[in-house]
């Protein structure tokens, strides 16, 4: 029997309902500011969607847009201004930043209490100590997706493919806190398939299209595909084994593929996220949840 689809849009709606209820219980409307430097079309769409979703749920969402030529000093000064503004509860800076700006310096400059992306070293440290307040949104969303299946994380062998600071490492930490046995794989892992085939829960977050094929998956595994890879349609036709091409999102002449061969994996796994419509909607939903958490914690309501 083919794997059941984990509907990220439906789970995100549940999280959004929780956010709206939490906002209604507050005596103020939390404010989220999304900072964007430059005119990258993908970043523009993503930042705008965050601000729009914030307004839909009852938050105050704002975009702070600056030219590509902005200096590092000027951006750091803007972050300092937002930190000092008591009316702002959440700050996120859209990455990547222009080459003249050190992204690490900018992230480190954000007040940890307003760091709704969960990237500041203070929040990273709390996460790995098992005391998270503001956890990175994508892995937090993955946990909610896994939990939505009813599959028990405790005692399971979870394999995380990818070791990025944004997804792979915090994902492993969150699974470990839920008493999974966790293995992290990466580009230097020997016999990758031998490791992934041991996974009761497999999270693919390496950013390479169709790197996980059917023979790399344990029968009955839960598969979470974090990959969002835009590729040439001809390349997609060569590497994807998906008979339902309508599932693939064609945009601007490109095709969106995950890290997992969906068609093959669905014949082996018990649960699987699609791309698109799986992890993607959860990232923004968890960002909204973090903003409310930050507001309530910071203002001690």
Catalytic center residues: 50, 94, 117
**Is the bond into 276 cis (omega within 30 degrees of 0)?**
yes
CA pair distance 148, 281, nearest whole angstrom? 14
Please state, in angstroms and as integers, the Cα–Cα distance from residue 65 to each residue in 33, 37, 108, following that order.
Answer: 10, 6, 20
Please state, in angstroms and as integers, the Cα–Cα distance from residue 150 to each residue in 50, 59, 145, 205, following that order.
Answer: 29, 31, 10, 22
Is the sign of the CA dihedral 288, 294, 295, 301 positive or negative?
Answer: positive
- For tokens 């994508």, the residue is 138
User: Could you tell me the end-to-end alpha-carbon distance of the chain, in angstroms, rounded to an integer?
Assistant: 49
């Amino acid at each position: 029997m083919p794997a059941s689809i984990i509907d990220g849009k439906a789970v995100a709606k549940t999280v959004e309902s929780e956010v709206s209820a939490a906002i209604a219980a507050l005596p103020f409307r939390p404010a989220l500011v999304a900072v964007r430097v430059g005119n990258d079309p993908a970043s523009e769409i993503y930042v705008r969607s965050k601000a729009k979703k914030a307004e839909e749920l009852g938050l105050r969402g704002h975009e702070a847009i600056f030219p590509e030529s902005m200096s590092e000093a000027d951006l750091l000064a803007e972050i300092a201004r937002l930190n000092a503004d008591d009316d702002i509860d959440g700050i996120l800076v859209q990455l990547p930043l222009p080459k003249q700006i050190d992204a690490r310096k900018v992230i480190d400059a954000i007040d940890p209490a307003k760091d709704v992306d969960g990237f500041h070293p203070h929040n990273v440290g709390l996460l790995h100590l098992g005391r998270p307040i503001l956890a990175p949104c994508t892995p937090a969303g993955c946990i909610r997706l896994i939990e939505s299946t009813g599959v028990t994380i405790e005692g399971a062998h979870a394999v995380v493919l990818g070791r990025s600071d944004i997804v792979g490492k915090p994902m492993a930490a969150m699974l470990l806190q839920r008493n999974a046995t966790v293995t992290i794989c990466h580009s230097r892992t020997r016999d990758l398939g031998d490791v992934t085939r041991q996974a009761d829960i497999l999270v693919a977050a390496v950013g390479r299209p169709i790197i996980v094929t059917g023979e790399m998956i344990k029968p009955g595994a839960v598969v979470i595909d974090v990959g969002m890879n835009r590729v040439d349609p001809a390349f997609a036709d060569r590497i994807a084994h998906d008979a339902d091409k309508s599932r693939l999102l064609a945009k601007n002449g490109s095709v969106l593929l995950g890290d997992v061969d969906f068609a093959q994996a669905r014949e082996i796994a018990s649960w699987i996220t699609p791309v698109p419509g799986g992890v993607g909607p959860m990232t923004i939903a968890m960002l909204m949840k973090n903003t409310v958490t930050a507001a309530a914690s910071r203002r001690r309501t």
